[in-house]
Chain A
């Protein structure tokens, strides 16, 4: 690399187009980061990418970790104080998203099967009794009727 730099200096290359290119890329990256911010989405909710979530859910925990989803409750399974909802996202009836409703977080709305709600969720990582990580769990923080 050092030899290459020396060769470049010796050839006297014009660096202006390179600098412009780098600036364009930086602008694009900043723009994309702003676009994917939750705050930006809450303003205009976009479909939750279940497909990606199915591959690696814990990734969702590291990017702001607050999502708003609209979905229909397909099933509810209650275990102890907690409930597990299977929610189908609008426009994709082949996919169901698991949403955990913790008993420690009392919701103002009664969630019933077959109804559509707007869920505000966060992706969390829990620990089981053995101390192992339970990753990529979408926990319902709030819910609103549509």
Chain B
């Protein structure tokens, strides 16, 4: 209880908030519902915490300022996420402050009564019926104002009831006094009759003090009268005892009823009424006993003693209600100060506190409408952020956080942004792995990872892109089949000629690689052929030889060229144009293969005569010369 204030509230809405705690109260992994309700299910039995105390069967909500949560009914409420608090606070923000003449008059009268009770409660001389009558009339007048909710009238009636009880007691006291007098008279009279009987008995004519009607009638009548008096005395004493018993029973009941009402005002957050009621208590019950009639073992008793360290009295209520009033007023001052500095988050925080604690306080009820609008705009953003966070729409959360930052430079969005960034990254990682699984054809793993990515961040834009990509890949399946078929047959030229159509196979990473290879290969081939064609046309002697040789070398290096009709056509064309050169090379190779090295060398020499820079001729010459020169003859 050390850091706790108890706030007696009628509804669960009794809580305060901290704007900066918004993200911490959400757990998108699965506690969003709790977050929506604002209830943190910390079971006191499980956590080992002491359950909140109860008073008159109602559990007292406890505010823990260290984390801005209120414990109530075994749960902790974070103000920012409590649906009821939100509803009440939003209602307050949407209301226009009641600044009517009637309202002003109500507040003025209430203030007067408070001042009046304060002034008179400490002065013993002024304690009494006149003060009470004035207060009671004032309270009845207050009850005319609808915003009071009839609370003042209830208090006035309670005062009247308590006074009635007091009056009844006084009537019974007076009756007892009268009975005392009557009893005294009867005693005196009875004693006198006894004495006279005694005297007559001493003078004769009497037997046992009782005369017969003929000779001793006086003594007999005295005896009956004495008996009658004695009986009357007994009756009156019994009546007195009944009155005393009634008196003794009435006052505690009256006190209990009155104290209950005062505590009820506290629960209702009608602190003004609670203060008035507590202060009027001394005027009503003047026996000086202000103790609260609470069971010593009850939680409420412990709560009161925990706050004051003393047995609970009606003054404790006075103190607590006064503190709450001051707390609310200070909160409102803080709100105005924060608004002046554009610290909307801080202002919202303090205003929620003020509304939650003292919704009916004058400073709260008259809070200016323009300030309400500013805070309402900020509050709406917070609400949207909470909703977006619950919906795991992290992109939206970041947008809202940016807006809030614009509105309030002090808004600490670091925690929020760290959280959203982390979740986004998590989703993207899962999606990346899903893509890999998809590319690898692992449908099960792909489905699992894609689902994981969607669960973490349902509005991930990459999910839509991925979905479109999958749909596109599916629609390209026939095209991919055709592509694969052409690829198997090395019909690269066919692919190249329809490269814009086959471009869509790039949806499959593996095929994309092949597609790129094919397009680059054929494209490079075409460029090379164009270059050779230019050379061959410019020099019709050497050009065709050069072109043939280039193509021949390439074709021997890479079998793909042999499957390209354009390439082979060019090859054959140049072979025809450079017939002698080509024939010499071929004859050389033929002779070389047959072991006719002399003839082979002669052919290579001949080839070189047609194309002096021929690589093939040079290589043949070098090769065959080596064989000839190194042979044994």
Q: A98 touching B629 by the CB < 8 A rule?
A: no
Let me know if B460 is at the binding interface, CB within 8 A. Answer: no
Tell which of A50, A55, A128 touches B630, judged by Cβ atoms closer than 8 Å: A128
- Assess the A86–B628 pair: CB atoms within 8 A: no
A108 to chain B, nearest CB (A): 20
Task: Please determine whether A94 and B626 come into contact, CB atoms closer than 8 angstroms.
Answer: no
CA distance A78 to B132 in the complex (A): 142
Give the contact stretch, choosing among B243-251, B407-415, B417-425, B601-609: B601-609
Q: Which residues of chain B have C-beta atoms less than 8 A from A129's C-beta?
A: 630
Partner of B631, one of A77, A96, A127: A127
B595 touches A132 (CB 8 A): yes
A68 at the interface (CB under 8 A from B): no
Q: Which B residues lie within 8 Å of A57 (CB)?
A: 591, 596, 598-599, 602
A54 interfacial by beta-carbon distance below 8 Å: yes
Whether A96 contacts B599 by the Cβ 8 Å rule is: no
Quick one: which of A78-101 are within 8 Å of B by CB?
79-80, 82, 84, 86, 93-98, 100
Q: Which of B582-633 contact A (CB under 8 A)?
A: 587, 591, 594-599, 601-603, 605-606, 608-610, 625-633
- Is A139 in contact with chain B by the CB < 8 A criterion? yes
**A80 contacts which chain B residues (CB < 8 A)?**
629-630
Q: Is the CB of B628 within 8 A of A50?
A: no
Nearest B residue to A98 by beta-carbon distance? B601
Q: Mask for A59-89, Cβ within 8 A of B = 1, else 0?
A: 0000000000000000001011010101000
Q: Give per-residue flags for A32-60: 1 if the beta carbon is below 8 A from chain B beta carbons, else 0.
A: 00000000000000000010011111100
Cβ contact of A136, chosen from B597, B606, B626, cutoff 8 A:
B597
Q: Is the CB of B633 within 8 A of A94?
A: no
List chain A residues, Cβ under 8 A from B609: 93-96
**Across the interface, do A98 and B595 meet the contact criterion of CB distance under 8 Å?**
no
Bound Cα distance from A86 to B591, whole angstroms: 18
User: What's the least CB distance linking B219 to chain A, in Å?
Assistant: 182
In the assembled complex, how far is the CB of residue A104 from the closest CB belonging to chain B, in whole angstroms? 9
Asked whether B587 lies within 8 Å of A55 as measured between CB atoms, the reply is yes
Which secondary structure characterizes the binding site on chain B?
Answer: helix
Contact A136 B599 (CB under 8 A): yes
CA distance A115 to B579 in the complex (A): 31
In the complex, chain B residues whose CB is within 8 Å of the CB of A53: 598-599, 602
B599 touches A77 (CB 8 A): no
Which residues on the B side are within 8 Å of A125 (C-beta)?
A: 633
Chain B CB within 10 A, most for which of A98, A128, A132 = A98
Decide if B632 touches A127 in the complex (CB within 8 Å): yes
B628 touches A134 (CB 8 A): yes
Tell which of B594, B608, B631 has the most Cβ of chain A within 10 Å: B631
CA distance A34 to B599 in the complex (A): 26
A137 x B630 contact (CB < 8 A): no
CB distance from B32 to the nearest CB of A (A): 84
Instruction: Tell me the bound Cα distance from A55 to B587 in angstroms.
Output: 8
Could you say which residues of chain A place their CB within 8 Å of the CB of B597?
134-137
Partner of A95 from B605, B627, B631, B633 at Cβ < 8 Å = B605
B-contact 0/1 string along A108-146, CB 8 Å cutoff: 000000000000000111111100111111110000000
In the complex, A95→B595 CA distance in Å? 20
Docked Cα-Cα span, A82 to B625, in Å, equals: 11
Tell me if B598 and A137 are in contact (CB < 8 A).
yes
**Do most interface residues of chain A lie in helix, strand or loop, or is the interface mixed?**
strand
Question: With A and B bound together, what is the CA distance between A53 and B117 in angstroms?
Answer: 143
B605 & A79 in contact (Cβ 8 Å cutoff): no
Give the docked Cα–Cα distance between A133 and B633 (Å): 10
Chain A nearest CB, measured from B598 CB (Å): 4
Contact A84 B587 (CB under 8 A): no
**A79 to B175 alpha-carbon distance, docked (Å):** 158
Please tell me if the beta carbons of A56 and B602 are within 8 angstroms of each other in the complex.
no
Question: A67 → chain B, closest Cβ, in Å?
Answer: 12
> Considering only CB atoms, which chain B residue lies closest to A138 in the complex?
B598
Which residues of B have CB within 8 Å of A139?
633
A126 neighbours in B (Cβ, 8 Å): 628, 631-633
Contacting residue for A128 out of B594, B608, B625, B627, CB 8 A: B627
Contact A84 B629 (CB under 8 A): yes
Chain A residue contacts of B603, Cβ below 8 A? 54
Residues of A near B591 (CB, < 8 A) are: 54-57
Look across to chain B and name the residue whose beta carbon is closest to the beta carbon of A52: B599
Q: How far is the CB of B180 from chain A (nearest CB, A)?
A: 157
Q: Are B596's CB and A56's CB within 8 A?
A: yes
**Which A residues touch B610, using CB under 8 A?**
94
**Is A86's CB under 8 angstroms from B631's CB?**
no
- Write out the residue numbers on chain B whose beta carbons fall within 8 Å of the beta carbon of A124: 633
Q: Least Cβ distance of B311 to chain A in Å?
A: 123
Residues of chain B within 8 A (CB-CB) of A93 are 609
Output the least CB separation between A74 and chain B (Å). Answer: 8
Q: Which residues of B contact A96 (CB under 8 A)?
A: 602, 605-606, 608-609
**Are the C-beta atoms of A79 and B630 separated by less than 8 Å?**
yes
Residues of B within 8 A of A94 (CB): 606, 609-610
CB-based contact B602/A134 at 8 Å = no
Q: Complex: how many Å from CA A55 to CA B627? A: 19
Q: Is the CB of A98 within 8 A of B606?
A: no
| Bound: A54/B628 CA distance, A | 15
Contact B628–A100 (Cβ < 8 Å): yes
Q: How far is the CA of A133 from the CA of B625 in the complex (A)?
A: 14
B595 touches A54 (CB 8 A): no
Flag if B606 contacts A135 (CB, 8 Å).
no
Partner of A56, one of B599, B605, B628: B599
Contact residues in B for A133 (Cβ distance below 8 Å): 595
In Å, the complex CA distance between A123 and B602 comes to 14
B587 adjacent to A137 (CB under 8 Å) = no
Q: Which residues of B are found within 8 Å of A102, using beta-carbon distances?
A: 633
Known A53-B599, A55-B599, A56-B599; judge A137-B631 contact (CB<8 A).
Answer: yes
Complex Cα spacing A58 to B595, Å = 9
The distance in angstroms between the C-alpha atoms of A135 and B600, with both chains bound, is 10
CA A139 – CA B601 in complex, angstroms?
Answer: 14
Please state if B595 and A82 are interface contacts (CB–CB under 8 Å): no
Q: Inside 8 A of A77's CB, which chain B residues have their CB?
A: 625, 629
Q: Which residue of A lies closest to B605 (CB)?
A: A96
Using A54-B603, A86-B605, A96-B609 as known contacts, say yes or no to A136 and B598 having CB atoms under 8 A apart: yes
Closest chain A residue, CB of each to CB of B590: A55
| Chain A neighbourhood of B587, CB < 8 A | 54-55
Residues of A within 8 A of B633 (CB): 100, 102, 124-126, 137, 139
CB distance from A114 to the nearest CB of B (A): 16
- Are A79's CB and B629's CB within 8 A? yes
9 contacts between A and B (CB under 8 A): A54-B599, A54-B606, A55-B599, A57-B602, A58-B596, A80-B629, A94-B609, A96-B602, A128-B627
Given A55-B587, A136-B599: 20 more A-B contacts, CB < 8 Å: A54-B587, A54-B606, A55-B599, A56-B591, A56-B599, A57-B591, A57-B596, A57-B602, A79-B626, A84-B625, A95-B605, A98-B625, A126-B632, A127-B632, A128-B627, A128-B632, A129-B630, A135-B595, A137-B628, A138-B598
Across the A-B interface, the 10 shortest Cβ-Cβ residue pairs? A126-B631, A136-B598, A96-B605, A57-B599, A57-B598, A134-B631, A126-B633, A79-B629, A98-B601, A137-B598
